[in-house]
Structure 1
Amino acid sequence: MIPFLAAALALAAPNGGSVAASIEQAEKRSGLHLDDLFPRKPFFGRAATSPTWSKDGRYLAYAWLPYGDKGGSDLYVYDTQTKKSTRLTIPVNMARFDRDVTAAEERYKKELEEEEKSLTLDDAAYREWRQKRKEENEKRKEPLPNYGGVGEIDWSPKGDEILFTFDGDVFRSGLDGKVTRLTRTAENENGVRWLPNADGYTYERTGGVYRTMFGTGAVEQLNPKLPTGVSYTGYRLSPDGTKLMVTGFKGGPASRQVDYITYRDRFATAQRTARDVAEDEFKGESYVYLYDVTQDSLDELKGEGKPWEVWSWKGGKEWQQISTNEDPWSPDSKRFVFGTWRRSAKEQTIVVADVASKTTK
């Protein structure tokens, strides 16, 4: 019955009858109301994200926004023994880290009140209310205050502590919900992970991998200088914390310029744009590197400081790409694995890189 409702709406307004009358007629014929199919208040809330197990398998941390609430998700921990979830962050407590949170909560409260009132409006008034709100949003020049919520989550390898990101910064929390801020920068930190010994953590920031130690507060950039033109795209630190797998990308020359005609105005106009066509070769380049981070320290720089190029794709007719797992390293940190895909040949290869011999198979 549902697929025919749209057709009923289209046919129900002969001779220019009103849309509202057409909707009413279609609803009577079908036995359905539009609110039955598209309820003003959704049936479902937001799904939980970033599920992460503690190392002992007892706790599951996740980010979630309860049904009916607004804003970003908060940090929760589910205890498999007690079968209960505990909320570790709430907006009122995170407001001390973000000046917009209080204003955002006031905004959400007002919006929820307006939305509750809208549930009692008739169809015409409801559509008018939605259109008015849409126009107000389009005219607004400044963004509304917002509660971004929790992003990434990572468990300590040696205890019941969590690192997480909020509003682009890194935070630390125990199961008691006591939150400590670890960074406060204008740039966003992401890719946060505990160090193997839980004595610090690594994270990404604007094309770099950084390591911060809890005891000293020392901050070091771990990723090496890559060949000219190659940009850093990702990393995976070995379990022993001594080696860094780095992926990189290098853009190629500009695409060919293609001329075309547009007829939007009174007269035809010639335009030019960059566009690749089927017979063009792929111009981008992808790389996988390995770097020994023990060469570098705050006290001394050793060796040449150059990474080992493990794998590369330098464009051409055959499209290739790589895929890395969240945990590509062997437990002893002597090997790591990644996959490559050749699209035209439909060939997938699993590559194992041996750190000691600097060979792949």
Structure 2
Amino acid sequence: MYFDHSATTKPDERVLQTFMDASVSYFANPASLHMEGKRTEKLLERARAQILAAIGLDLTEGIFTSGGTEANNLAILGFVYANQHKGRHLITSSIEHPSVLRVFQQLEQQHFTVDYLPADEEGKVSPADVKAALRRDTILVSIMHVNNEIGTVQPIEQFAQIIHSSSRAMFHSDCVQSFGKLLPGNFSDGPDLVTLSAHKIYGIKNSGFLAYRQNIRLQPIVFGGGQEQELRSGTVSVPHAASLAKAARLIAEEADMQQFSQWRTDLIQFFSTFEECKVLAPQAGAPYILSVAFAHITGEVAINFLQERGIIVSTSSACSSKNSSVSHVIEAIQVPADYAKGVIRISFGKDQTTEEIEQLKEAVRQLIGLLRKGVGK
């Protein structure tokens, strides 16, 4: 029973078939001038247009990347380097994914000024804090849509309205955990740059995308043959592009947020009956992510206990879960010390069943029973 869909998803067989078909039938280099190259280029551009349409914002430009990490790096570094003549002040939050946080830390070493906005106990960043942090020399604000560890949904529409009405800054949002689920949404305003990843939506790994508005100036961070509008050199993998477009179409048609929300509500009520458990971000979380902290044990102990019963969950972000220290997100939302090292993340997927939810609950009851007997401390 797999409850770790926020770490990665099993590729959909239809997506894999698209990848294979494109690999065989559209193998030519899309930069080539001959007939096969032009034919492959048409498929590439069709995939690009489909992904931009699936995002649902007024974003007309898109760059294919090797994943969410590269997309975040290109969005931030590419924008900052191209626009540093306008200012050197940047804003982000304290609970971003490492592929965002570490980029800003690197920029600080290059004498940019970065404000790291705090989050409340549910992981929410205050719109008032965003507005207060804006300065005349602010050029970029980067705040994720859905947190990868605790599932907090940020009010990115409100952030965009504040940023666009109060400054000249652009707004980037890491939407890796929301694309195809909470994005697109009915936004009157939204980010100027959006990043996403295929393997979170039943696509293929090493496939990502950066979407941005037409008037955005970017600078490449990888140099070579000048592919992808001279912003991301290297021969474009058209099979990856086509399969990402396929995954985006499928999840838009098939994602069942209502069912996920029902399961999440059920589990919140279930975990709340145990004093040994603390649900993180119960009100602000996405329907498909639930983080729970256990008192007096580590997340690793809980994971191993559940794993022995055929249940797969994770401790936090899979990108850094091998680090045994408390994550920066858990520290930022000030989880009590007794619970901070006992966090597990449960994330739902399209093949989940209610029966699996019930089996998860039964396994947790067994774990709580052992904790009350003093086992596993």
**TM-score of the superposed pair, with normalisation by structure 2:** 0.21
Question: Which has more helix, going by share of residues?
Answer: 2
Question: Which has more strand, going by share of residues?
Answer: 1
Structure with max Cα Rg: 1
The structure showing larger relative contact order (alpha-carbon pairs under 8 Å, at least 6 residues apart) is 2
**TM-score of the superposed pair, with normalisation by structure 1:** 0.21
